Structure 1
Amino acid sequence: MLRNREIRLVFLVMCTISLALLVVATFFSLAAVILVLLTSMLLIGCSLLFTRLRYQEIEKLSGYVRRISSGDYTFDVRDNREGELSILKNTIYKVTVMLSEQSALLHKDKIHLTEAISDISHQLKAPLTSMMVMADLVEDTNLPEAKRKEFTRNIRIQLERLDWLVSTLLKLSKIDADAVPFKKDQVMVAGLIEKALQPVLIPIDIKEQTVSIMGEDSVSFLGDLNWTTEALINILKNAVEHTQEGGTIEISFSENPLFTEIMITDNGKGIPKEELPFIFKRFYKGKGAGEGSSGIGLSMAHSIITKQNGVIDVQSDVHKGTEFRIRFYKQVF
């Protein structure tokens, strides 16, 4: 304690004042000298004792901080008494709780990253393995020309799938990292639906499906046209894929003072109830998923919509169809 320069200075000042008072007391009487001496000793002793107790508390806090720095957040240092040390203890405890929560989030993110890398590796492994096998077959000089063309075409298809997969994963990563500046433009829903339908018109035509659109041309919401189009394309692809030939897909939209709503309904094979809680989970593929499904289309749609103050939910019955309901709220409550 006395190694502290400030404590030594205070102790020296107190001793100097006591000595001066003793000198003054000698001019009065012996009783005055004794009184000043006892008072000085008591005051200096109490000061040293109080300082020692404070040092012990500070040493405990130092040990607590060292435990925090080593990753131990279990110690509770809260103190409900008055005083600056109690305030300091409670402040340190609040920081400890915050660090504990951040540590838990980092651990959770680490697990999520590990799982994501594993899932991505699995998604990339299948087309890469397929292409390696077909590339070996193409090298065979005795391979018929028809087979060579077939394998070359399959390799191109797998490469296109890989390109789409990597591109989509990069977009998802940007959205998750809040690196996508979503615009706040006035989006007309009728134009949005028309734009989203363009990439799926050919598969719709091949499967001879019927698409009906219902809604007022004035319906709109504040959002990003291009990103929302991407979300709807993924939902529409899902509807086309899981609706039988000759089936119907209904798109309706409306607006009220609270939100703008878009509903996409099909009469396809539907989704089992036990799978509904997981369909927006990344890389999740249900029992009825197609062979080329990657399990990230609906996850991407969910991320895009929720990042624009929207919500998306799904209702479905097996063999009866599926309904996606999207709502873009006009303000945050």
Structure 2
Amino acid sequence: MLRNREVRQFAVVFVLLAAAAVTAGFVMNTAAGVLAIGCTATFGTAFVGFTRARYRSLARLSDEIDRVLHNADHLFIADSEEGELSILHSEITKMTQRIRDQNRELIKEKGHLADSLADIAHQLRTPLTSVNLIMTLLANSPAEDERKAFIRETEELLMQMDWLITSLLRLSRLDAGIVVFQSGPIAVNDLLRTAVRPFLIQMELRNVDLRIDCPSGVVIQGDPAWLPEAIQNILKNCLESAGENGMIELVCTDNPLYTELIVHDNGPGFSKEEIPRLFDRYYRGSNPNHAGYGIGLALCKMIITRQGGTVTAHNHPQGGALFRLRFPK
């Protein structure tokens, strides 16, 4: 307590005043001197006790802050008292609680980042292993037809890796909150044509029947650069499920509350167990032959929901997968 300069200064002043008061009292008479000693002792004792109590409270605050700095899961709740020290105590308690909450969030994000990095490494390792194997076979294959087939397969794997890396970068940008979605009127017919365009050649090669039913003049609000990306991820999933000689149907309806877009394929659909997890990141479904990476649908949901829309997946009553996108007015 005496390490505090202000306390030392007050003690010196108090001792001088007390000595002067006691001296003046004894000069007057003995009773006045004794009374001055009693008052001085009483006041000094009260001051020391009060100061020590304040220092104990400050020490508890210091211990609480130290626990927070060392990640201890402890919270000291101040007594319901009035006064400057109690107010300070309350504010520090609030501050430590906020720091603790932020620390928990950082620990959670750190764990999520570690899991994400492990998933990314696993996702990239699969096509890289295939490329290395194909390169070995290509070096030992004298037949021209086999070499061309290996080269085509390598190109497809490299395209998959490019798509995977691009999607992961987009997911990371969305997770970091650095993407600012624009909101403007988008003609749904134009949106669908933009989304379908990258798949037209692939659909023609697989003989996939594409059907689009969208009334003219239907407009939604959204980002014209990101919404096609969301629909393309659904189309990619449907194209894979439909397979050769399949069918993909896009139907748009409009009402005073929302605009609805349904994407339907005639593939095998989903099992009941996987429907709740379809939009989970890195979930690849129960089909062992599924060639996806569990990123496209997660990215699709983030894009749509952050622009105020909703996306759900079901099994169509007549068979196949059904994706339902709704954009509120």
Query: Shared fold (TM-score greater than 0.5)?
Result: yes
Task: Give secondary structure in 2 for the equivalent of 1:79.
Answer: coil
In 1, Cα distance between the equivalents of 2:96 and 2:195? 49
In 2, Cα distance between the equivalents of 1:307 and 1:267? 29
Aligned 8 A contact 2:123 2:293 in 1? yes
Shift of 1:216: 4.6
In 2, Cα distance between the equivalents of 1:50 and 1:7? 12
TM-score normalised by structure 1 residue count: 0.89
Query: Please, what is the CA RMSD of the aligned residues?
Result: 2.3
Q: Which residue of 1 aligns with 2:194?
A: 195
Q: 1:95 to 1:271 in 2, by over 3 A?
A: same
Q: Which residue of 1 aligns with 2:296?
A: 297
Q: 1:307 to 1:117 in 2, by over 3 A?
A: same
Question: What does the per-residue CA deviation read over 1:74-102, in whole Å, with 9 as the maximum and x for residues that have no partner?
Answer: 24333222233332333222223222222
In 2, Cα distance between the equivalents of 1:208 and 1:39? 102
Q: Which residue of 2 aligns with 1:64?
A: 64
Q: Which residue of 2 aligns with 1:241?
A: 240
Task: Give yes or no for the alignment of 1:263 onto 2:262.
Answer: yes
Please tell me the residue identity of whatever aligns with 2:230: A
Larger mean Cα displacement after TM superposition, 56-65 or 205-214? 205-214
Question: What does the per-residue CA deviation read over 1:176-197, in whole Å, with 9 as the maximum and x for residues that have no partner?
Answer: 1112222122222221122112
Shift of 1:226: 1.2
Please tell me the residue identity of whatever aligns with 1:203: Q
Q: Which residue of 2 aligns with 1:173?
A: 172
Shift of 1:23: 4.1
Q: 1:301 to 1:144 in 2, by over 3 A?
A: same
Aligned 8 A contact 2:284 2:290 in 1? no
Shift of 1:147: 1.5
Task: Give secondary structure in 1 for the equivalent of 2:263.
Answer: strand
Aligned 8 A contact 1:265 1:323 in 2? yes
Aligned 8 A contact 2:188 2:214 in 1? no
Which structure 2 residues correspond to residues 92-111 of structure 1 after superposition, within 5 A? 92-111=92-111
Q: Which residue of 1 aligns with 2:150?
A: 151
Task: Give secondary structure in 2 for the equivalent of 1:74.
Answer: coil
In 2, Cα distance between the equivalents of 1:207 and 1:162? 25
Which structure 2 residues correspond to residues 287-326 of structure 1 after superposition, within 5 A? 287-288=286-287, 291-316=290-315, 320-326=319-325
Q: Which residue of 2 aligns with 1:37?
A: 37
Shift of 1:57: 1.8
Aligned 8 A contact 1:220 1:255 in 2? no
Task: Give yes or no for the alignment of 1:11 onto 2:25.
Answer: no
Q: 1:204 to 1:321 in 2, by over 3 A?
A: same
TM-score normalised by structure 2 residue count: 0.90
Q: How many percent of aligned residue pairs carry the same amino acid?
A: 34
Task: Give secondary structure in 1 for the equivalent of 2:292.
Answer: coil
In 2, Cα distance between the equivalents of 1:293 and 1:62? 54
Q: Identify unmatched segments of 5+ residues in structure 2.
A: none
Larger mean Cα displacement after TM superposition, 149-158 or 73-82? 73-82
Shift of 1:173: 0.9
Q: Which residue of 2 aligns with 1:162?
A: 161
Q: Which residue of 1 aligns with 2:138?
A: 138
Task: Give secondary structure in 2 for the equivalent of 1:211.
Answer: strand
In 1, Cα distance between the equivalents of 2:171 and 2:246? 33
Question: What does the per-residue CA deviation read over 1:200-219, in whole Å, with 9 as the maximum and x for residues that have no partner?
Answer: 22333333424132335142
Q: 1:314 to 1:291 in 2, by over 3 A?
A: closer
Task: Give secondary structure in 2 for the equivalent of 1:81.
Answer: coil
Task: Give yes or no for the alignment of 1:126 onto 2:145.
Answer: no
